[in-house]
Amino acid sequence: MKNQTLEIKVALQILKPVNEVFEAIIDPAQMSNYFISKGSGKLEEGKQIIWQFPEFDMSFPIRVGKIEENKYISFYWEMDSIELFVEMTLTTRPGNSTVVTVTEKSRKNDEAGIKWLKGNTEGWANFLACLKAWLEYGVHLRKGAFDFMSDKI
């Protein structure tokens, strides 16, 4: 077997219309309710923005790729000096709900890649759960959840 590359893929159905889900993902004011603490701007095609997370005293530059309103969002970010590509696909489902699929690619199938696969798969699954909790119930599921990992303690 060849040394394949690793890719993350997670999905979750959210019981909200696609336009509400799309806006919650591209708007940093909404994202601060379930994912980031601060964003320098909306996700817009071709823009460079900065995300900050509540647990860490670090900034994460995001290079926005392609955006298709209510359908598709892509961006690039770095981990361990490797640029990774993230895609979010929004699919309308019956009952005015939306399936959000997140893929992140790719890393080598080695120890560092497996560590990334584990951590970021957990991270994207958490992103989707927090997005669902916020949009459907107004619950800030992330608040305090990762304080144990904080470099601020």
Q: According to the model, what pLDDT value does residue 79 have?
A: 83
Residue range 1-39, pLDDT digits in tens:
466 899 999 999 999 999 999 999 999 999 999 999 899
Output the CA angle 150-34-58, nearest 5 degrees.
35
What is the per-residue pLDDT for 148? Answer: 65
The answer as to whether 112 is a domain residue is: yes
Whether residue 149 has pLDDT greater than 80: no
Does a structural domain hold residue 151?
no
4 occurs within a structural domain: no
Q: What is the pLDDT of residue 2?
A: 62
Helices and strands per DSSP (H, E), number in the chain:
3, 7
Check residue 1 and give its pLDDT.
45
Higher pLDDT, 57 or 114: 114
**Within-domain flag for 22:** yes
Instruction: Please give the full DSSP string across 59-91, using - where no structure is assigned.
Output: EEEEEEEEEETTTEEEEEEEETTEEEEEEEEEE
Query: Is residue 7 domain-resident?
Result: no
Domain CATH number, residue 118? 3.30.530.20
Domain count, the chain: 1
Residue 2 inside a domain? The answer is no
pLDDT, mean of residues 103-107 = 95
More confident residue, 150 or 35: 35
Boundaries of domain holding 53: 14-146
Contact by Cβ (8 Å): 43, 29: no
8 is a domain residue? no
Output b/e per residue, 117-143; b: 16+ Cβ within 10 A: beebbebbebbbebbbbbbeeeeebbe
Token output for 145: 């959840």
State residue 144's pLDDT score: 67
CA-CA distance, 131 to 141, in Å (whole number)?
A: 9
6 domain residue, yes or no: no
Q: Which string of b and e fits 26-56 if b means at least 16 CB within 10 Å?
A: bebebbbbbbbeebeebbeeeeebebbbbbe
The separation between the first and the last C-alpha atoms of the chain, rounded to the nearest angstrom, is 44
pLDDT at 5 (0 to 100): 93
Alpha-carbon distance of 74 to 88, in angstroms, equals 6
Give the separation between CA 144 and CA 54, rounded to whole angstroms.
9
Query: pTM for the full model?
Result: 0.90
